[in-house]
Amino acid sequence: MTYGCRYCIICRIFAPLNGYRGIHEGTLSPLFYYWFLMLKEKVESLLNKALEEHPSLFLIDFTVGGDNTIKVVLDGDQGVNLQDCMDVSRAIEHNLDREEEDFALEVTSAGATSPLKLPRQYMKNVGRKLKVRTTSGELEGTLVQASENSITLEWKAREPKPVGKGKVTVQKKEEIAFSDIQEAKVILKF
């Protein structure tokens, strides 16, 4: 595979960001990519400083779009309130110059129905019911333990009696490695 044009080192550097095409093939200027990467690094640095000031908060997702839309999704050990979002938003916005960078900033909390992504999210939800889709199927149960590598779910199931007719309720327990989890969501009770 050719990385940009054969002659231009700038095309070779920015080709992976540009679908492996050079600027001489009708694509955006490498200066755009340089500026884009600089903005992303600057925002990431400001975001890390803001999270250091709020140790109970942690980052779930961070993106900077091509149209300079900055999206930050947070979660916290005790949840995320409006003030937390405002503090992080201000820490970023007040340190960027709108004259230099034209951007839109969106700081949100992970929604109640958002999938769990990080071990820290599982740890804060111990005791709650989860619906977990794994590589081998789907489970629904109470999260009883969470570590850095796996979670443990417990649930009750009806199984046939070993002897005789009918069914008996049994307590099931399964440890699931994070690598086997495709999606996990908290089941909300109303």
* Domain CATH code at residue 143: 2.30.30
Show the domain range for 74.
Answer: 29-109
* Domain CATH code at residue 97: 3.30.300
Residue 96 and residue 133 in one domain: no
Query: From CA 189, how far away is CA 137, in angstroms rounded?
Result: 23
Answer whether 132's CB lies under 8 Å from 122's CB. Answer: no
Residue 35 and residue 82 in one domain: yes
pLDDT of residue 40: 84
Answer whether 4's CB lies under 8 Å from 14's CB. Answer: yes
Query: From CA 28, how far away is CA 148, in angstroms rounded?
Result: 42
| Residue in the structure block whose two tokens are 């400001």 | 46
The number of angstroms, rounded, from the C-alpha of 72 to the middle of its chain's C-alpha atoms is 10
Domain end call among 78, 109, 140: 109
Residue 33 and residue 103 in one domain: yes
Is residue 101 a part of any domain in this protein? Answer: yes
Answer whether 42's CB lies under 8 Å from 29's CB. Answer: no
Is residue 13 a part of any domain in this protein? Answer: no
pLDDT of residue 41: 87
Angle at 78 between CA 116 and CA 70, to 5 degrees: 60
Residue 91 and residue 137 in one domain: no
pLDDT of residue 1: 46
Model pLDDT for residues 57-102, shown as the tens digit of each residue:
999 999 888 778 899 999 999 989 999 999 999 999 999 887 777 8
Is residue 59 a part of any domain in this protein? Answer: yes
Residue 158 and residue 181 in one domain: yes
pTM: 0.73
Query: From CA 178, how far away is CA 21, in angstroms rounded?
Result: 37
pLDDT of residue 11: 56
Answer whether 138's CB lies under 8 Å from 147's CB. Answer: no
Residues of the chain with pLDDT under 50: 1-4, 7, 21-24, 26-27
Query: How many domains is the chain partitioned into structurally?
Result: 2
What are the residues whose beta carbons fall under 8 Å from the beta carbon of 133, sequence distance 6 or more? Answer: 181, 182, 183, 184
Query: From CA 164, how far away is CA 158, in angstroms rounded?
Result: 15
